[in-house]
Structure 1
Amino acid sequence: MTVDHPSAPTIEQLIDVVGNSSVGITVTDRSGAVLLHNKAQSVLMHGEADHLRGRILTDGEDALPGLLAQLEENGRFENVRVTYQSADGTQSHLAAVNAVVAGAGDQSRIHWVSRPELGERLPVSNTSTENPTSDAAAWIRAVNERATPVLTPNKEHESVLREFYELAPVAIHLIGVNGQVMHANPTDVALVEYSATPGEYVGQHIRKIYEDQGLLDDFLSRWDEDSPIINFRANFVTRDGAPRPVLIFSTAQAAGGHVSNTRCFVFNDPEPQRERDTVSAFGWPA
């Protein structure tokens, strides 16, 4: 699916968004051999990998053959619970993975996006003290501190990165410091049902798609401070005004003390019936 965007991210933006995202990203060939992966994926796997064989499990067994079979049959899947493990099998991390096949035959690639399974979220209620030992805080700290992997995305991966952006099995948008939607991938545009009229969303203020306006005001202030939003349940609003339960993982790109844009990854909430998160103990307005 291709959406006619006013513009696409630059290669520098794509390298940053993929390489420094708060969720694991891996691109492989059709056998599971890794072409690139980011820092967050290294955290999930407790190390780097050149192949997913033996590094992704379900029920204690190598999940790769079964996942590849699903992709062969359906072309994509979403929210599959897996366990990533270290090369020696002594460390592991629970995750939920989305994946999609791009292309056909021997030249096809698989784009994998994995979010950590966390019990807590950031930000917490503004009446609570943030716990630096919470699993959400520990997650983003580990990602930020992780060394850049050997197979990190770079300019030589431009065609792969642009393919990932266009076909990614997760919604991605970049928000400027003024709150404008700078870029949104086709999955993101479709999530809020603007595929037929993307210009009504891309280039407009992000306020347009948030059900809770007070929550968005809080988020905008946090983005300006480069404060992460991790495992946060909210409702977006579609073009027709319907609520869309989502799970948000967002960080900001900052250089020289100034934030240039966010790196927002948005998942369909696998538990849409759950109460939405708030930053005020009483919901907004506080």
Structure 2
Amino acid sequence: MPNDPQEAPSVEQLIDVIANSSVGIAVTDRSGAVVLHNRAQSVLMGGEADHLGGRILLDSAQDGLRTLIRRLEEEQRVENVQVTYRGIDGGHEQIARVNAVLTGSGDDTRIHWVSRPELGERLPVSNDSAEDVTSDAASWIRAVNERPLPTLAPTKESEDVMREFYEVAPVAIHLIGVNGQVMRANPADVALVGYTSAPSEYVGQHIRTIYEDKGLLDDFLGRWDEDSPIINFRANFLTREGAPQPVLIFSTAQAEGGSVTNTRCFVFSDPEPQRARDTISAFGWPS
């Protein structure tokens, strides 16, 4: 396990984390033409980018996309923007929340998109209730898992694009290893919990450091070993100063032989921090 907080993920880790994440990821040029995207983004778009003429379609055909790109050109970054992804034939519609960041200039401009579906439910559920396989959270992750890799999925040939995405992504990303250690954390993740000035106090340490509810984390660690998804889940992280940081978690794991290799954790600042935090167990956990 790496201890260098500046060490970047391997290209194989980047391919897995981006391609198989539970949130939509796309990298486009400044016109919205897709350079790469993942399985979850295919679900949001109702098909591969090629099917959509190579572009993301939002709201009323291209108008929604142009409006959002103009905003990005002015602000460089947007968070929690509600959009409606549409298929080219108008028969597909998916509401999502988008975080996006614009990098570069001129012909070298790229837009990095991270989209989470607008869901009313979450996974996992509490121990005293059976998992509802018809819930929108369960339906979402099932659709992602069943989607084949798109033609424009990340590959070794797109390493530069993937590395730029990881570094500038407008969402926190961390990879947790078999022993609960934070293997990798991107700059947004380190900043989210207030460790930018001392990343080695977080990266390379146990993920327990940043969870307010330690029992919740213990439950999560067991679920990751089983490759059980954590979708649309509200929790509190703890910053370096000990302050609660309300977050929304989308996480799956790369697991082999009943043991997690690494997680694919995408963490959003909760746009509704006043909401109650989600719980899993029907009984209290010791602190």
- Given the two structures, how large is their TM-score scaled by the length of structure 2? 0.94
CA distance in 2, matches of 1:270, 1:223: 25
1:239 paired with 2:224, answer no
Shift of 1:61: 7.5
Q: Which runs of 5+ in 1 are unaligned?
A: none
Per the alignment, residue 12 of structure 2 pairs with 12
1:206 and 2:226 correspond: no
Aligned partner letter, 2:25:
I
CA contact (8 A) 2:177 2:262 kept: yes
Aligned residue in 1 for 2:48: 48
Q: Is the CA contact (8 Å cut-off) linking 2:226 and 2:255 kept in structure 1?
A: no
- Note the C-alpha offset of 1:257: 4.8
Aligned-pair CA distance for 1:278: 0.2
CA distance in 2, matches of 1:116, 1:217: 26
Q: How does 1:1-286 map to 2 (within 5 A)?
A: 5-50=5-50, 55-57=57-59, 62-255=63-256, 257-282=258-283, 284-285=285-286
Name the CA distance, whole Å, in 2 between partners of 1:55 and 1:256: 40
Corresponding residue pairs, total: 282
Partner SS state of residue 49, structure 2: coil
1:103: Cα distance to partner? 1.5
* CA 1:54–1:155: 2 relative to 1, 3 Å: closer
Amino acid at match of 2:231: I
- Rounded Cα–Cα distance in structure 1 between residues aligned with 2:223 and 2:75: 39
Is contact 1:47-1:87 (8 Å) kept? no
Alpha-carbon contact 2:45-2:56 (below 8 Å) kept: no
SS at match of 1:149: coil
Following TM superposition, by how much is the alpha carbon of 1:284 offset from its aligned partner in structure 2, in angstroms? 3.6
Q: Deviations over 1:45-91 (max 9, x none)?
A: 11111467572117x88311110111110101000001111121112
Instruction: Tell me the TM-score normalized by structure 1.
Output: 0.95
SS of equivalent to 1:89: coil
In the TM superposition, structure 1's runs of 4+ consecutive aligned residues that sit over 6 Å from their partners are none
Q: Cα offset for 1:213?
A: 0.5
Deviations 1:79-118 (A, max 9, x none): 0001111121112111000000111221010000000010
Counterpart CA distance in 1 for 2:275 and 2:123 is 17
The verdict on how the C-alpha distance between 1:103 and 1:274 changes in structure 2, with shifts beyond 3 A counting, is: same
The one-letter amino acid paired with 1:35 is: V
Percent of residue pairs identical = 72
Q: State the alpha-carbon separation in 2 of the partners of residues 96 and 209 from structure 1.
A: 25
For 2:73 and 2:229, the matched residues in 1 are separated by 36
Q: 3-state DSSP class of the match of 1:56?
A: coil
Contact 2:225 2:255 in 1 (8 A): no
